[in-house]
């Protein structure tokens, strides 16, 4: 039942569609760091629970992300989350990049509806896999660093 102005009565507003923040709109309409880095130092493709995917490739110098390319395949939330994670970690030391959470991605976007938080998780997890790929290449196939 609607109250004056056509808005739902109190208690029914949890069914309103997500009203995106302008930061979300910027990332969704003009995603950052789209593309592939030739001869990437680390790369990964992550697939989310919804079937969307993100490809991430990294250029790393002295354990710092000096370049990041990302290609999202899926809904607008996946596009925005891929863009946001690429902005959050560009220029960061790998240890700091690994500390980025889905909540950080949502904050960068001005919020995400709960039913699309998995897109932020997809972006963060794929980043972690790309960093893991870099370490595997650096340390050899065993994944263990020589002491």
- For the chain, give percent helix, strand, coil, nearest 5: 40, 20, 40
Report how far Cα 60 is from the mean position of its chain's Cα atoms. 18
For 42-97, the pLDDT digits (tens) are 999 999 999 999 999 999 999 999 999 999 999 999 999 999 999 999 999 999 99
Nearby residues of 147 by Cβ (< 8 Å), 6 or more positions away: none
Report how far residue 83's alpha carbon sits from residue 120's, in angstroms, rounded to the nearest whole number: 10
Is the pTM higher than 0.75?
yes
Report how far residue 14's alpha carbon sits from residue 67's, in angstroms, rounded to the nearest whole number: 39
Topology annotation, domain 27-133: Sufe protein. Chain: A (3.90.1010)
Q: What is the pLDDT of residue 108?
A: 97
For 88-124, the pLDDT digits (tens) are 999 999 999 999 999 999 999 999 999 999 999 999 9
Q: What is the pLDDT of residue 59?
A: 98
Residue spans of the domains in the chain: they are 27-133
> Are 1 and 9 contacting, i.e. CB atoms less than 8 angstroms apart?
yes
Q: What is the pLDDT of residue 140?
A: 82
């Amino acid at each position: 039942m609607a109250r004056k102005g056509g808005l739902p009565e109190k208690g029914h507003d949890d069914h309103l569609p997500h009203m995106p923040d302008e930061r979300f709109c910027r990332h969704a309409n003009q995603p950052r760091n789209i593309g592939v880095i030739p001869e990437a130092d680390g790369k990964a493709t992550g697939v989310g629970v919804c079937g969307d995917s993100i490809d991430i490739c990294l250029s790393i110098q002295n354990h710092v992300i000096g370049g990041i390319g990302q290609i999202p395949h899926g809904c607008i939330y996946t596009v925005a989350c891929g863009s946001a994670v690429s902005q959050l970690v560009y220029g960061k030391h790998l240890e700091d990049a690994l500390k980025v959470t889905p909540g950080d991605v949502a904050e960068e976007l001005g919020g995400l509806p709960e039913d699309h938080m998995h897109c932020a998780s997809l972006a963060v997890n794929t980043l972690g896999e790309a960093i893991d790929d870099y370490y595997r290449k650096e340390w050899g196939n065993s994944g263990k660093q020589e002491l």
